[in-house]
Structure 1
């Protein structure tokens, strides 16, 4: 299952949730590992002094690196968005075939040169 958050449209929710879960922030952020270019990242020492935590800013966050998640990320990047893809598995294992539960995403493609079946097989 994949989901897309457009961060600019949920600003008020994020502000509210940051106030509500501020006490739990170390627990929520402890398992997050990000390996991207750190030029825009800022070191956050409020969470942990023993483990470096970097804050990153993205236009969109795609949850799940299956067929639908990677296709969503590809489409967003091609339109100029800065995108993060979050997955619980190594990217070569996070695909629709590994789930063996069937394809739950539309197979349509916007690009004429890209066959939708090639994305999944």
Structure 2
């Protein structure tokens, strides 16, 4: 019988249950979406304007329905674009999720009737 790992965060468990996983990819052309869609259901693609330490293009691909991470990384590493080989790995850092719940204001603002002096009445001297 299968048991979920107890030391995983809620975000990691939800990604594992629904099969969503991000992969860091480098050394790719603009048509990376079409190339990666042959290996699974592409859920999200982010191509950074920044380059990696080696000066290569850097991006992240998120797939739905991934169950074996090692096989997926090996499959992605086998993609060639003419003379350039795609390099793939799991991201080193996971996106931080906020643990705070949003605050909703339920009280209504009540306008108070002010009988004080106005700015114009003070200037006129009729206060």
Output the TM-score relative to the length of structure 2: 0.22
Q: Which structure has the larger Rg over C-alpha atoms?
A: 2
More strand by share: 2
More helix by share: 1
